Structure 1
């Protein structure tokens, strides 16, 4: 069985779409547009944090809306976008400035985001940051 051709136009189109969705989800939390963020999430989302805690879509959105998490700045360079059928894994970084439960923090994380096709749209299924320092 051969690997998908990196130059396959359909694979490249998926990569382009996923990168745009990654921009959109990060912009949404920085802008406080949690309805946009929610629209990008799979109902079974597992959202991990760099402190090891985890949230569901509902618990994460509740914390964001109640300002437990306030995102001031995020940059998210991407190293790889791995496309395998209806699953995409985005490997990269999440660096930012946030306030978490009233404490200002600078984040420097490696990260993995998993997107899947769900009801004819790409949805974020899982997110895992790992502190680099």
Structure 2
């Protein structure tokens, strides 16, 4: 996984201080997003996020060849789940087959890593990372 992240050019994201998301702030921006213009409509005017903004804020490369990871087969998805998620072979096969492809459902990952009584498990600590 680390080599994939490194080759993708996204390794700098691991060093950012973005470990806490203000959900109210995100909600405010979502409400102001206009798909037609790909911009935010703010009280002071229209605002867009450019690739240069992304490069400056997140230190992501915006030039060069776009990198895509290799296709993952159902067999590899099962193998990865067994190796990295530490689930049984039969559990991984059953889940991947139910997804009809080399995918994992987010709910399944939640069931594995977020027991209902707590948000911490032996292998991972979730710090509220969200994506929009």
For the pair shown, the structure with the greater C-alpha radius of gyration is 2
TM-score, normalisation: structure 1? 0.23
Which is richer in strand? Answer: 1
| Higher helix content, 1 or 2 | 2
